[in-house]
Amino acid sequence: MGKEVRRFLFYTFSLSWILWGGLAILTQFNLLKFGTALSIILFILGGVAPAICEIWLKRKYSSKEEFKSFIKNIRNPRHPFVWYLLTVGLAFAACFLPTLWDGATVANPLYMALINFPIMIIGGGLEEIGWRGYLQPTLQKKFSPFTSTLIVGGIWAIWHLPLWFVIGSNQVTMNFLWFTLMALALSFLMTVIYLSTMSIFLCIIFHALINSFWVVYIPDTNVLSALFTLLFALVIFTVFELYRKRNNTKGSTSRINVLSSYNK
């Protein structure tokens, strides 16, 4: 990986792990209870570190035009309505489908997802400014979308690791292998959204929706369930990749035909 990627990961992991590591130590020694104001501040700041670091690095090392374009992408809600439907549909499917194979339990009414959605923009969605907004497209300059997604998904899972030591956090009760497989599954779905729209905004929405739907469909965090969800994500990814490549090939052929006609 290049110098820019290493720099982004260094600052992101350092900031997040210092904040979350400090929170873990405080809760482990019973000096702070998770759920108090200070613990929530440390938790949120650690979570938005990918966004903070990437915006800072982009401002420091990019041109003014590149930085403005990056920020515009983050804030731009202007996308075809069908992509909003697909973003909501993919997030819903990823959370609902496990209920069909005893991988999740319906614990709350569906409207609770809508109520929690604004909170989850901050409590998860903004991470995508770093992960899908920077890391995924940067890795794709060297690797295929499939390989890049595997790398981002793996890094994303490992980045969360300190939360397993924060007493009182949701992660304490989660199986880490389940979480890693789910991170990979969600990464493939977000790659579909990003490659099709080039929108950081929609990736933020998708991530926030996942966290919101999990309030309704609470995962049982068993590994087999995660494997089924990963398989679902891989099927969706494969279908969209084939469709995207087919369209790109058609577009290239059309351009060649136009140029050939012009040259004649």
pLDDT on residue 253: 47
Q: Give the model's pLDDT for residue 1.
A: 62
Q: Considering the entire predicted model, what is its pTM? A: 0.93
pLDDT at 261: 45
Residues of the chain with pLDDT under 50: 253-264
Predicted pLDDT at 248: 78
Q: What is the pLDDT of residue 12?
A: 98
For position 250, what pLDDT does the model report? 65
Distance between CA 200 and CA 65 in Å, rounded? 17
What local confidence, expressed as pLDDT, does residue 127 receive?
97
Q: Would you list the domain boundaries of the chain?
A: 3-245
